Amino acid sequence: MTIADLVAAPDPQQESFSALVHVEYQLRVLGLLCAAADESPAKFSTPGSLETWAEYCRKQSEKLGCTECRTDATEVADSIEMVVVKGPQTSIRRVRNQVCHGGPIPENIDRAVLHGAVTHNAERIVRIYEHGHVSELSPYFRMIDGALAALHSFSGTAARYWPRRGEARDVTDPDVMDALKQLNFQRGDRLLDDFAQDIARDLKGFAERDSVYVLASPPDPIAVRWDRRSSDGPVPRVDRFVIGADHARMWLTESGAKKPYKAFLADVCNWPLLKRRLLEELEEQVAAEKRISRELFPNLQQRVPHVPTMVQFDDDYQGPRTDLTITEACKEVTDGIHAYRGSTNLITLTGEAGAGKTHSLLQYARESLAEDADLAPVAIYISSSRTSATSLDKLITERVAGTRILDREPVLALCRAGLAILVIDGFDEMLGFRSYDDPLSGLQPILDQLRNRGAVILSARASYSEARLWKSLTEHPAKASNHRLTTMKLQPWRRAELLKLAGHLSSETLIEEAPEIRQLLTTPFFCLAYIAWKQTDPPGDFLRFVVDTYLQRELSKLVDSQNAELFSQDDLSEIFCEVAEMTARNVAAEVDESDLVTAAEVALDRELDEKEQRRLVALCGMSAEWSEHELSFSFTHLAIAEHFLARQIVRVPFQQTLALLSEVAISALCAQLIASMWSEEAREESLEALIAALQARVSAAQSTEECRPAMASLGELWARVHGTADNRRTASRIMVDKLELNGSGTVTLNQAQVKRLVVGPGVTVRLTDSQIDQLDLSRTSGNPLLDDSHKQVGELLTQGGLATTPRQIRELLGLPEESVDESDIEAFFRDKIANARAAIVVDRHYNPPDEDVRMKWTREHGDRWQAFAKRLITEGKLIEERVNAAGQQKWRLRPTESFFEE
């Protein structure tokens, strides 16, 4: 497509509206050509109105360099005043403004004159271009899907290009951005222009293709003429919008009343009907989850109740809290969706297998959809399991297709407006681990379209995805996306939740668990299993109860044409053990069909015949889906995967066990299962001997990087076996999320990495070269830390309070304050600024928010930070940028190049 194609007149048989709109497009193309012909073009406005572009073309035509082209450009600009309606005489400009503001197209419009005007305009613009004044069309024009498109707008981080046909497209190519930044842009009414662009973007999902026309011509309201898509055919609409007090975006209804912009989107998508249909589809998913529960625990005939799980809630501004249920935490997310502008809130929900993530999120979504509050945000729940979708875009479309109102684009429009919150359950499973090390890549398509607004809840089984997401957000600032990361971690169930569940189920069993069972009763899944196990007669072995009864019940599905069983229960168990080891070694949640066959043949020590291979895909406990043109298989429940991995670890020869634990980082749940199963296998070697051998391997490694999986496995096993001992004990290079030290004696941790270390009474601790994120001494009195162990602690929790800086930790432990000279203090602040992973946001006195725990380092040396920050701003080494946020005015501090030159 060429410039001639862009400006060519529409077909004379088309309605007059097409020609009226095309006049503005012709003026835009001419204005951009004039700018491209000048080394230093005059400022032009984006998006700009018909009158704005006409005036720009008149002035800029002086730079074309020849009389003929200047004359042609002026005549194109003057064409908007051509009379196309007689009696009273009305120009193209006035007719176009009248129509685009919702008025009718005049019946007596002279279509021949109008078509002649756009035809002559096209001829003149082509002559100007072919005369050779423009040597380079970029960046004013760009090829989009093989067609030439004209620049429509530029925000500084993204450019929108407008093709002759089809939808406008956003471009973020760094080379294009750099070129556009060199140009002069004049923003007339930026708030109104931005609002107009967002309206056009939001309506893409609701409107007929190419039917949206937006007119932003201050001081008049924005007028949008468009055709709403419906099952009965296009429904023409004209809507008007204004900017209200406090820059609020408002919709003018037909009666002239002002309503919030989101009320317009709710009206467009028939809000009550949409909520009802989303709820109906959600109930189907809730019913499916209940069926799974009934199949797993058939003895529990009563309705399994909702027992709220506690959650650790940690956002950017208030720090960690542990006094909320998952329902209350989700409500805070909902209530706070409009609290901050300019950033998408990414909320990660993590919890071990069976912790109740799916149940809790379904409950949250159901409550939001059943809420009667007008225009309160709803949760659109999307599960990655049991779906054929291979991308997040397809997953969203698949989820909302049944509403017959929404697809992906309208969903994102509702999210941008704060009417909906995306809830993606099983985020790490959705990734398929193919982008496991870069989870941002799986989210980027929708984050780009959310345009730093709204909220997305992502559930995952492990904190690994959360950590990788943090890393991705800090390593890719060029993506021009601002995201806040809020974390929610489901807390282990306490005895109170178990008793409440048992009471709801009318269970009369005594809750007197053996220690190895008590360690597992921290999730709803295992608590249900425990109650079902206690009701069996005889009760049998709890560790194998759930999985083995599940396998036994499903064997009937694995039969040949003569109804003969193809596999025994032991066969299935051994196959799953091999698959669990394979996925663990590959750090993947799934295997392909050939790997599944290989695992089965290794487990059974024979080749499978064609019939067995064909029926292998129907294995209970495994689910299949298409991914990248092939079938992949994963365990239907992660607890099942952990169980079979533990079973594999305890049943293979000792050296193979040692090798496996050295290469695979096991979870806390897996470690609990291993400790419980070890003695049942009547192993010659004790579990202590296994830990000692693993410790020897870790200690012999040249660096911690080469033995991180072994460190994690060692840490989890050491915590289970030695955490409650009554003697002196030592652990080197262990890595564990939570370590509880009870019993008595001195515990020495050398080069340990522990997120949360809990010390009970009777235990003293010596830390050497270790990193403890949080040390909990609330269950003991005095100072159980030996030597200078306190220097290796990030946070300290005692009966006297919480200390978050080294100075506060020393004070809480009753240690004398260490003297620090001014040069050390300055070096400390410089290092923190240079390596800050989050924005440094302060008030006018240079104080960060009190609740922002990530900025606790600014309070480490009293009020010296305020003087230091003020001096660096004066020296030009820090700059202040205003933050667009609710509440007290805030500034973001950013280091300049001169900061790094010293």
The confidence score (pLDDT) of residue 275 equals 93
Neighbouring CB atoms inside 10 A of 630's CB total: 9
Q: Are 660 and 649 in contact (CB under 8 A)?
A: yes
**Pair of tokens at residue 249:** 């975006």
Q: Nearest CA to 627 among 487, 433, 812, 450?
A: 433
Tell the residue number behind the tokens 């730079």, with chain if given: 63
Mean pLDDT score, 488-505 = 81
Q: Give me the torsion for CA of 251, 257, 258, 260, rounded to 10°.
A: -70
Q: Which of 169, 174, 172, 173 is nearest to 197 (CA)?
A: 169
- Give the DSSP letter of residue 391: S
- pTM, two decimals, is 0.58
Three-state DSSP at 652 gives: coil
At 473, the pLDDT band (50, 70, 90 cuts) reads: low
For the chain, give the mean pLDDT: 82
CB-CB contact of 179 with 137 (8 Å): no
Q: How far apart are CA 495 and CA 489, in angstroms?
A: 19
Instruction: State the DSSP H helix or E strand holding residue 673, giving kind and residue range, or none if neither.
Output: helix 668-678
CB atoms within 10 A of CB 629: 6
Nearest-5° angle of CA 483, CA 462, CA 752? 100
Predicted local confidence at residue 187, as pLDDT: 61
Please state whether beta strands 878-883 and 890-895 pair in parallel, antiparallel, or not at all (unpaired).
Answer: antiparallel
Q: How far apart are CA 152 and CA 25, in angstroms?
A: 10
User: What is the C-alpha to C-alpha distance for residues 384 and 405, in angstroms, rounded to an integer?
Assistant: 22
Of the chain, the percentage scoring pLDDT greater than 70 comes to 83
pLDDT in tens, 421-435: 999 887 765 544 334
pLDDT at residue 434, as a whole number: 37
pLDDT at 117 > cutoff 90: yes
Q: How far is CA 33 from CA 64, 134, 150, 588, 856, in A?
A: 9, 7, 10, 53, 54
Q: How far apart are CA 793 and CA 758, in angstroms?
A: 12
Distance CA 101, CA 238 (A): 7
12-42 pLDDT, tens digit each: 888 888 888 899 899 999 999 999 998 888 8
Tens of pLDDT, residues 184-225: 776 656 678 788 888 988 998 899 988 888 888 777 889 999
Higher-scoring residue by pLDDT: 481, 706: 706
Distance of alpha carbon 169 from the chain centroid: 23
Structural tokens at position 786: 């030996």
CA distances from 594 to 189, 269, 348, 472 (A): 61, 46, 34, 33
DSSP assignment of 160-211: EEEESSS--EEE--HHHHHHHHTS-EE-SSHHHHHHHHHHHHHHTTTBPTT-
What burial letters (b/e) apply to 89-123, b meaning 16+ CB within 10 Å? ebebbbbbbbbbbeeeeeeebbeeebbbbbebbbb
Render 584-627 in DSSP notation, one character per residue.
Answer: HHTT-S-EEHHHHHHHHHHHHTSPPPHHHHHHHTT-TTEEEEEE
- Report pLDDT digits (tens) over 750-789: 999 999 999 999 999 999 999 999 999 999 888 999 998 9
Q: Are 90 and 84 in contact (CB under 8 A)?
A: yes
Q: What single string gives the DSSP state of each residue in 782-796?
A: S--B-TTGGGGEEEE
Radius of gyration of the chain (CA): 33
Cα–Cα distance for residue pair 211/228, rounded to 1 Å: 9
Name the pairing type of β-strands 630-635 and 591-592: antiparallel
The two tokens of residue 377 are: 């945000």
Other beta carbons less than 10 A from residue 715's beta carbon: 27
Rounded Cα distance, 751 and 705, in Å:
12
Closest CA to 308 of 369, 367, 358, 356: 356
The pLDDT of residue 656: 93
HEC assignment per residue over 357-378:
HHHHHHHHHHHHHHCCCCCCCE
Q: Is the pLDDT of residue 436 over 70?
A: no
Task: Name the most confidently modeled range: 530-534, 575-579, 687-691, 840-844.
Answer: 687-691
Q: Which of 219-228, 459-468, 593-602 has the highest mean pLDDT?
A: 219-228
Residue 374 has pLDDT above 90, yes or no: no
CA neighbor of 367 nearest in space, from 290, 298, 306, 414: 306
The secondary structure of residue 858, as a DSSP letter, is G
Question: Model confidence at 401, in pLDDT bands (50, 70, 90)?
Answer: confident
Separation between Cα atoms, residue 848 and residue 267, nearest integer Å: 41
**Is the Cα torsion angle 597, 598, 599, 602 positive or negative in sign?**
positive
Q: Which residues partner with 799 through β-bridges? A: none
Residue 437: pLDDT band (50, 70, 90) is very low
